[in-house]
Amino acid sequence: MIKYIEETTNYLQDKGFDNPEIGIILGTGLGQLINEVNIIKEVSYNHIPNFPTATVEFHKGKLIYGEIAGKKAIVMQGRFHLYEGYTLQDVTYPVRIMEKLGIKTLLVSNAAGAINLDFKKGELMLIEDHINLQGSSPLAFKGVEELGERFTDMSAPYDAEINSKFKSIAKANNIKLHKGVYASVVGPQLETKAEYRMLKIIGSDAVGMSTVPEIIVANHLKLKVAAVSVLTDECDPDNLEPVNIADIIENAAKAEPDMITLFKELIKTL
């Protein structure tokens, strides 16, 4: 993997991806942050050597380099998911590349279902901890110790200082920001009623199909990391309605302006 990482990094450096400080991964329905970026360079995923091959659906996936709130950043517009058939090493490969290019901080967003029924769709949740239910680890491969510690500590995977800044920013801008535990599942099917009940019993506040692999690798690489979920549906097992993906995307879009404010204001402080 080291050779591949070097090749990809060299390619992007040649393209002008020069000393970024911050990496940002944008989740489903959360692409508008890009309007806040003074774009210097952008490259389609399918042109980047050794990047996972984009599926038709994610043809639009792009790596963007630019300035946001005066800081050099790399933004992933679109991410790779386990449910698309990628491996966990594929899903997290871009995190390794962003780290190699120089980022010190990784900010992640996603769309998630609300397991905690005090949380409503269209609201945001700051991830304070997670439960990995994807059945494997992005660190479970031969040679992982050449890239970082195999037995990566996960006692505090989310950066406390960034999280405390997020809370202050939310307060100052009148944004409702819940705090909770995010559980990652494989998908792509949504959960059954029994699964939603289980997720609640084991301590999750939200559920989604991403983020945890990237957080694990960010910790493997000792990056500072924080993540925010947009809650797009309410997972009440006793009143469960059939899933409506259009609805999920629409609810993500509704919460997007608040997410943009949080990220932009936070970046100013980094």
C-alpha to C-alpha distance for 147 and 89, rounded to whole angstroms: 12
Evaluate whether 24 touches 112 at the Cβ level (below 8 Å): no
Nearer to ligand HPA, 77 or 204 (CB): 204
Contacts of 187 (CB under 8 A, 6+ apart): 81, 82, 83, 209
Nearer to ligand HPA, 97 or 190 (CB): 190
How, if at all, do strands 71-77 and 22-26 pair? parallel
Nearer to ligand HPA, 209 or 225 (CB): 209
Query: Which secondary-structure segment (H or E) carries 55?
Result: none
Give the distance from CA 2 to its chain's centroid.
Answer: 23
Shortest distance (Å) from residue 33 CB to ligand HPA: 18
Shortest distance (Å) from residue 242 CB to ligand HPA: 12
C-alpha to C-alpha distance for 92 and 144, rounded to whole angstroms: 13
Evaluate whether 69 touches 228 at the Cβ level (below 8 Å): no
Nearer to ligand HPA, 193 or 222 (CB): 193
Residue nearest to ligand HPA as judged by C-beta position? 113
Nearer to ligand HPA, 12 or 206 (CB): 206
Looking up tokens 């360079």, which residue turns up?
41
Shortest distance (Å) from residue 192 CB to ligand HPA: 11
Shortest distance (Å) from residue 233 CB to ligand HPA: 5
Looking up tokens 């995977």, which residue turns up?
157
Shortest distance (Å) from residue 2 CB to ligand HPA: 33
Nearer to ligand HPA, 170 or 183 (CB): 183
Shortest distance (Å) from residue 99 CB to ligand HPA: 26
103: left (phi over 0), alpha (psi -120 to 50) or beta: beta
Q: Which residues bind ligand HPA (CB under 6 A)?
A: 111-113, 185, 190-191, 207-209, 232-233, 235, 248
How, if at all, do strands 62-68 and 38-44 pair? antiparallel
